[in-house]
Amino acid sequence: MFNMTPDWNFARRILESDPDRVPAGLSELPAFTALIRHQMLSGNPSPDEDILLSGVLQNIPDRNGARLLMDEWENRDNDIIEYSREALRHLPGKTRLSGKIFFVAGYDIGIVAPPDVAINIAHKHFINYPDDVGYYLIHEVHHLGFLSHRTMPPIKESLLTVQGLLDLIFFLTQMEGMAVHAAYKRRETEGHLEDDDDYRLYYDPAERLSIRTRFREICDSIADKESLTDGEINIALNAMSSEERLWYRYGALVSLKMENELGLDALVASIEEPGFFMEYAQIQV
């Protein structure tokens, strides 16, 4: 079942108001509540609303470009729903999704905050590549479906032990990698693989080798230790996420190989059989 609808109130309220002031009533919108839930899901149990709102306003690099992009996509509800539903191809058939597709301005590029997702229409990547809004809808809605079958490990607790960190890395490698892969076919068909560096692995063998080598290097360096310093944890997490994006790219590489060799049904089934996903990754990739 898929019953999700777009909501543009947050983005419109920000982009049509004074750029130096938080618009009145912004924190009362359901989209803002979704941002708070995302903060909590990401390990911040007590988000400060004022700090969050201030950060939103300071993270809009091109207001004119964002308004133009909003004007382009705001009238494309059918396309928004079609792209979002594309995620269902890579989710179990029993997946049920019912929530909002919030369009915001000034936050992360895209987030999942069950039962909703949000896309930052003001993100510089979308200003440069407007069609990528659709592909990131696939990505975030896949996260939503994934989390309807799996529970994310508690982040703060996971960082306390070596095994906890490895479990968190493996979980996010599968979740992020499968979401990247879910948008692959449509990107390829529509000629947009080269618009996002996460997809370089699909056509560059040297990139695949580099991703494999680096992912294993990081995981081996963690597994060899009895405990980890904060610095070692930060190095690992930065490599996996913001810097080298290893859990996105290695997870996509595993997903591609699984689908090619075992079929889409096996890949989808691995959402509820996570041990199989990582076992296959460690042996086959």
Tens of pLDDT along 17-66?
A: 998 888 999 999 999 999 999 999 988 989 999 999 988 988 999 999 99
% the chain with pLDDT above 90: 87
| CA nearest to 105, candidates 23, 196, 195 | 23
pLDDT at 220 over 70: yes
Instruction: List pLDDT tens digits, range 146-176.
Output: 999 999 999 989 999 999 999 999 999 999 9
What rounded mean pLDDT belongs to the chain?
Answer: 94
pLDDT of residue 284: 63
pLDDT at 261 over 70: yes
Which pairing describes strands 2-7 and 116-120: parallel, antiparallel, or unpaired? unpaired
Contacts of 243 (CB under 8 A, 6+ apart): none
Task: Report how many helices (DSSP H) and strands (DSSP E) the chain contains, helices first.
Answer: 15, 4
Q: Crossing angle of helices 49-57/30-41, nearest 10°?
A: 110
- DSSP designation for 212: H
pLDDT at 254 over 90: yes
Domain-by-domain residue ranges, the chain?
2-147, 158-284
Confidence of residue 217 (pLDDT cuts 50, 70, 90): very high
Pair 229, 252: CB distance under 8 Å: no
Q: What is the mean pLDDT of residues 123-128?
A: 96
Instruction: List pLDDT tens digits, range 128-140.
Output: 999 999 999 999 9
pLDDT of residue 158: 94
pLDDT at 285 over 70: no
pTM for the full model?
Answer: 0.96
Pair 129, 192: CB distance under 8 Å: yes
Q: Which residues are paired to 2 by β-bridges?
A: 97
Confidence of residue 193 (pLDDT cuts 50, 70, 90): very high
Confidence of residue 280 (pLDDT cuts 50, 70, 90): confident
Single-letter amino acid code for the residue at 77 = D
pLDDT of residue 100: 98
Q: What is the dihedral of CA 180, 203, 191, 122, to 10 degrees?
A: 40
pLDDT of residue 84: 98
